[in-house]
Structure 1
Amino acid sequence: MTRTLKVFEKVILGCFLLLAISGRTLAQSDLITNIPARETISLNGKWQYIVDPYETGYYDYRYKERRENDGEAYWNNPVQKDKTDRKEHAYTDEYTLEVPGDWNSQDPKFLYYEGSVWYKRTFDFDKSDLNSKRVFLHFGGANYQTDVYLNGKKLGMHKGGFTSFNFEVPASVLKEKDNFLVVRVDNKRAKDEVPTVNTDWWNYGGVTRDVNLVVVPDNFIQNYFVQLKRPAPGTAPKTKNTEVQGWVKLSKAAAGETVTIEIPELKYKKSFPVTNGTADLNFKLPKVQLWSTDTPKLYNVVISSKSDRVEEKIGFRTIEAHGKQVLLNGQPVFLRGISVHEEIPQEIRRAHSKKDAAQLLGWAKELNANMVRLAHYPHNEHTTRLADSLGILVWSEIPVYWTIDFGNQEVFEKAKKQLDEMIARDQNRASIIIWSVGNETPVSPVRTEFMRNLIEEAKEQDPTRLISAALEVHYNEGKNTIDDPLGQYTDLVSVNEYLGWYGGLPNTNRTAVWETKYDKPLFFSETGAGALGGFHADSLTRFSEEFQEWYYKEQVAMMKRMPDNYVGLSPWIIADFRSPKRNNQVYQEGWNRKGLISSDGKKKKAFWVLKSYYDEMDEVKSAKPKASSK
């Protein structure tokens, strides 16, 4: 059995285990990727809704889940047969929400709402051309638990607010006219979920990403992995590695099946045999131009089988941690990063469109950043695809955040499932160089084992990228020690530090001494200070732009004194964002103010301090010592 097949079996086993633990047998299908290349019918637009804080549409008065044919269940069409017929729920055009979009920003009554909302829309579907075809309902994301019903039949349930999922729609359930689609979204926080109850960002609820019907052949190309092989650990880096390793997975096993990989621009075409539904790929590319931050070259890759064909824009590059450096295509790269939340601050809402992605990544480009840390969850696919075309490196993370229940096997399965879904969707994005398995998790043996297992899972799913996690610092009288035991398992040591904001004043950076027990590249995954945009005072006044500006000046000076394994930083954060933990009613008012850009979209003084540093590092990058190559 190939490694690829073992990986898929492990993913499927994990999904079944999760469903068994939760006591449900639901029909979530394996993820279909590259939705833009498929035949789709968009279900975006206005959906009718019912707010259901008491879960009346889901549970009866004994708080037991309603039967499928229960007329009071909100997934059933509440049509009155006559005037005596009692119906205690209804969907009307007086109550609509835009999909995609969070509900919190669409009506004042939702501002702080956490609970269940039922979404409903109808659609027609031409079934005349369904011979040898299958239909799936695909969601780019919905936060947090999503239950999906079509014409009174439950298609399935998904947990996780930031990963894609889909359900197959049986032909027997699908109708030509007036299909009655109902989606229950519940964003309540819970101790045994991922993330858990305590986070430092707003828990936007709703169907926050695109919804599509996807029509595919009976045996279709479900997913694929076409990437350059990562150099083996300990070997000399190569500046021109062109060896591709990967796989193509069909939805069904079929005797005598082959898949063909074609890259027209390179005049490359080759077929590969399929075994048990999967073709293993191993070939070399001729005269390939490698993807980089300066030249983000993307090739049109055509993948075809006997019954299906998809096209994808793919960039080819290698990323590795070699000694004390991070190497992109065999050459050292300094990560001029910035952290980003998936939020449009001027409109106080979740980002969801290509335009939104362009705003957030555009701000990063204005900063002269070459990298973004997408915190603290996988962002919209629009963002990662745009990063590919802009040449922006990406850190992508699952929301294993702070103090989740590390001793709970069910929680681990939920985290692993989100990790698998994150990788499955974006594994062909050249921009993504780091998969992160969590942020600021407290050190303990059970936590380290939990995180180590996630790291192993990530490496098994994708052996070509770096794996990391944002760790914390051990502060002790000016000596800052990075000794988190998780660091021995990650490819680079990443750490969050806030010297001068959460301890002392910014001038404490001048005498700071840094030590790490790991001989690996050192990356500062967070640093920052809060400032209310437009509030000006002297540099000692907290929450003034001048204090934040001073903080960044001292941070930059400290970074210039870092040891030679220092490879970059991603300060916290590009723009202010909502957080119910931030309750200073003068300066915060429910916002985390650490943004370099204010909640009204204006750049603060600290923005220009960091940009100046990045401009300087950009200018000297050519003078950096080059890694040896063969």
Structure 2
Amino acid sequence: MKKTEFSLANCMALARTLWSSTKALTIALTLIALNSARAQQAVLHNAYARDFESLNGAWHYIVDPYENGYYDYRYQPFDQSENPSRSAFFMNSKALDKTDLIEYNFDESPTMNIPTDWNTADEKLFYYEGTVWFKKSFSHSQQEGKRYFLYFGAVNYKAEVYLNGEKLGTHVGGFTPFHYEVTDQLKEENFVVVKVDNKRAKEAVPTLNTDWWNYGGITRDVKLVSTPNTFIEDYQFVLEDMNSKTVQGSVTLTGNDVASKPVSIEIPELKVKESLTTNAQGIATFNFRAKKMTLWSPESPKTYQAIIQSGDDSLEDQIGFKSIQTEGQKIVLNGEPVFLRGISIHEEKLGGGRVSTKAEAKQLLTYAKELGCNYVRLAHYPHNEHMVRLADEMGIMLWEEIPVYWTIDWTNSETYANAEAQLTRMIQRDKNRAATIIWSMANETPVRAERNDFLTRLATKARSLDPTRLISAALEQSYDPNDGNIRSIDDPYAQVVDVLSFNQYTGWYGGTPESPRLVKWNIDIDKPVLVSEFGAGAKYGFHADKMTRWSEEYQAYLYQETIEMLNRIEQLQGFSPWILMDFRSPRRVLPGIQDNWNRKGLLSEKGEKKMAFSVLEKFYQEKAKQ
């Protein structure tokens, strides 16, 4: 469980009284580790189920490459002054008379439909990295006994948020939700201004160098969420024992008076109804059995309506229950070994641009289902919540990842804090999603002591937040110095993870499509192996012989040979080839072939199937019958 503030004594007593199994004790002890996380990061769980006013739609914007709207001519931030200048863009000033000098005007500036990325919304900003200001005006009718929160699904990368000229705060990280309480700042007529800066930085997560497009903007939904004065801040359901169908969990209230409050949880289909009472910290725990429960799986993605209620607040969610663990070299779902028939996906929609709607997310997952996938790797950052909730509905297991990508600033304490915050928010948001089976800490990071410590701390944090899912990271293969065809995994972090995952591109970055025939794998670690990436580039419609790079034939041939090679790995429990669909990347500049697109997709950016799509589809069809 998560989001609790029990003392050690209370936790141990609760564990002894209610639960006897080792697993249950582990989950109960997790409550202790969550104290600091809850104190550091406020929660507004399940924003989509709450009462809210959408602030999506037309926002006025101003492009500000010199950040003149943020700094004065001495390069001092306007928002650090007690009396900010009317020249500061967040003041949303207007000329008072014909003599007044104001050198900006949001209401006369163009508009952009939020959520979106500015790179595809305004062709002049296609390559732009820098600051863009956004402003939205809205009316509001305050209701007595209500609290209000300004909620952002994600803003890439750094957001400075202001309401009615007053700063609410700064958020760093382009793929996780955040919010501010604005109950006391709201008026009948309001304006919110957001300074968005997507410039890359060495100390950032991700850092300067990536292989995807740095889409800037307010890329996910914006809401004005309303709650009662005391409301359900967070909740979690955990399948503690698969055989007895025992579920345990917690509900956390927040407000001025949270002690000794009644809480109820109800799952009508399972005839579960529990009446609870919060402790002094506003936390109520529960434990029940539901023998008629159907466990969630790709073949039967069963979820149940759960109703959580306390006082004037009520939330509903669709909850699926499943067990995921490893047994030796097997990945085990609900007690049965499972082969992960996967594909990697970037959060990029048809034609390019950041996914921002439920329909766009569903299109990508529908392609994956058509391919025969029961599993998807969401690379290389937390995707839109729509994607995760749809995976619950559609029966697709998920690998979720934070953008600790390639080489970041391993010794910088602020960089680590940033990575841990993104990990924490991802787990907080998606902890009740049955589809998620793996939390990934990183992708293709170099082996060194500082990196090993950094990633180990992240894994420890993830396990403290959620001991019920698997931990992994996309590592790299190693080569025998005496025989380059003998491959292994020589990485101390392999001892930390639950699932041994690695990326390999034999036949693309070195060699030809026939090179995989020579490879021998020597993996002596007794853990499941999940190949997180393999693939080759091909431009849709370019046909040649199977040894011609960039042809569909080359890609299809390499897929055939790679699948044969990987099947020789004894511990192989699945893979997620790179990648479902072509996506934009500034690293990919070959004229007439790449043109700023990574061409490793099985689909073109328009959704057209390349020959390799059928190769993988056929393999998955056969695998599903086994």
TM-score higher than 0.5 here?
yes
How many residues were matched structurally? 592
Q: Distance in 1 between matches of 2:340 and 2:435?
A: 13
Mapped contact 2:325–2:331 kept (Cα < 8 A) = yes
TM-score, scaled relative to structure 2: 0.93
- CA offset digits 1:258-289 (Å, max 9, x no partner): 32111011111112332212223332223101
- Of residues 275-284 and 376-385 in structure 1, the stretch that sits farther from structure 2 once superposed is 275-284
Task: Please tell me whether residue 65 in structure 1 is matched to residue 72 in structure 2.
Answer: no
Q: Kindly state the Cα deviation for residue 9 of structure 1 after the two structures are TM-superposed.
A: 2.8
Q: Distance in 1 between matches of 2:170 and 2:524?
A: 44
SS of residue paired to 2:121: coil
- The equivalent position to 1:495 in structure 2, one of 498, 502, 505, is 502
Distance 1:439 1:241, change over 3 A: farther
SS of residue paired to 1:567: strand
Q: Distance in 2 between matches of 1:561 and 1:535?
A: 31
Task: Return the letter of the residue paired with 1:361.
Answer: L
Partner in structure 2 of residue 395 of structure 1: 399
Task: Map residues 45-194 of structure 1 onto 2, 5 A cutoff.
Answer: 45-66=57-78, 67=81, 69-127=84-142, 129=143, 131-171=144-184, 173-177=185-189, 179-194=190-205
Partner in structure 2 of residue 441 of structure 1: 445
Q: Distance in 2 between matches of 1:5 and 1:286?
A: 26
Partner in structure 2 of residue 248 of structure 1: 251
Task: Return the letter of the residue paired with 2:466.
Answer: D
Task: Return the letter of the residue paired with 2:249.
Answer: G
Distance 1:89 1:532, change over 3 A: same
Q: Distance in 2 between matches of 1:460 and 1:443?
A: 24
Task: Return the letter of the residue paired with 2:63.
Answer: V
Q: Kindly state the Cα deviation for residue 442 of structure 1 after the two structures are TM-superposed.
A: 0.5
Task: Map residues 129-528 of structure 1 onto 2, 5 A cutoff.
Answer: 129=143, 131-171=144-184, 173-177=185-189, 179-229=190-240, 240-252=243-255, 254-275=258-279, 276-346=281-351, 348-476=352-480, 477-528=484-535
Q: Kindly state the Cα deviation for residue 408 of structure 1 after the two structures are TM-superposed.
A: 0.9
SS of residue paired to 2:107: coil
Q: Distance in 2 between matches of 1:531 and 1:352?
A: 27
- CA offset digits 1:273-311 (Å, max 9, x no partner): 322122233322231011110110110001111231101
Partner in structure 1 of residue 51 of structure 2: 39
Q: Kindly state the Cα deviation for residue 79 of structure 1 after the two structures are TM-superposed.
A: 1.2
Q: Kindly state the Cα deviation for residue 241 of structure 1 after the two structures are TM-superposed.
A: 4.8
User: What is the percentage of aligned positions where both structures have the same residue?
Assistant: 51
Task: Return the letter of the residue paired with 1:85.
Answer: D
Distance 1:387 1:460, change over 3 A: same
Q: Distance in 2 between matches of 1:165 and 1:414?
A: 14
Q: Distance in 1 between matches of 2:235 and 2:33?
A: 13
Q: Kindly state the Cα deviation for residue 112 of structure 1 after the two structures are TM-superposed.
A: 0.3
Q: Distance in 1 between matches of 2:108 and 2:30?
A: 48
Q: Distance in 2 between matches of 1:12 and 1:333?
A: 34
Mapped contact 2:477–2:502 kept (Cα < 8 A) = yes
Task: Please tell me whether residue 605 in structure 1 is matched to residue 616 in structure 2.
Answer: no
SS of residue paired to 2:390: helix
SS of residue paired to 1:343: coil
Mapped contact 2:580–2:601 kept (Cα < 8 A) = yes
Task: Please tell me whether residue 570 in structure 1 is matched to residue 576 in structure 2.
Answer: yes
- The equivalent position to 2:597 in structure 1, one of 591, 598, 603, is 591
Mapped contact 1:122–1:180 kept (Cα < 8 A) = yes
Q: Distance in 2 between matches of 1:436 and 1:246?
A: 24
Mapped contact 2:30–2:464 kept (Cα < 8 A) = no
Q: Kindly state the Cα deviation for residue 556 of structure 1 after the two structures are TM-superposed.
A: 1.5
Q: Kindly state the Cα deviation for residue 121 of structure 1 after the two structures are TM-superposed.
A: 1.0
- The equivalent position to 1:535 in structure 2, one of 542, 557, 575, is 542
Q: Distance in 2 between matches of 1:50 and 1:513?
A: 56
Q: Distance in 1 between matches of 2:486 and 2:262?
A: 59
Q: Distance in 1 between matches of 2:299 and 2:540?
A: 32
Task: Return the letter of the residue paired with 2:91.
Answer: N
Mapped contact 2:62–2:109 kept (Cα < 8 A) = no
Mapped contact 1:4–1:247 kept (Cα < 8 A) = no
Task: Return the letter of the residue paired with 1:92.
Answer: D
Q: Kindly state the Cα deviation for residue 7 of structure 1 after the two structures are TM-superposed.
A: 3.4
- CA offset digits 1:226-253 (Å, max 9, x no partner): 1212x6xxxxxx5x35122222111236
Mapped contact 2:274–2:286 kept (Cα < 8 A) = no
Task: Return the letter of the residue paired with 1:307.
Answer: D
Q: Kindly state the Cα deviation for residue 4 of structure 1 after the two structures are TM-superposed.
A: 5.6
Partner in structure 2 of residue 11 of structure 1: 37
Mapped contact 1:319–1:466 kept (Cα < 8 A) = yes
Q: Kindly state the Cα deviation for residue 12 of structure 1 after the two structures are TM-superposed.
A: 4.8
Q: Kindly state the Cα deviation for residue 562 of structure 1 after the two structures are TM-superposed.
A: 2.1
- CA offset digits 1:45-76 (Å, max 9, x no partner): 01000001111111111111113532011000
Mapped contact 2:34–2:464 kept (Cα < 8 A) = no
Q: Distance in 1 between matches of 2:312 and 2:497?
A: 41
Coordinate RMSD, CA, aligned: 1.3
Mapped contact 1:241–1:329 kept (Cα < 8 A) = no
Q: Distance in 1 between matches of 2:513 and 2:476?
A: 18
Distance 1:5 1:289, change over 3 A: closer
Q: Distance in 1 between matches of 2:37 and 2:87?
A: 37
Task: Return the letter of the residue paired with 2:457.
Answer: N
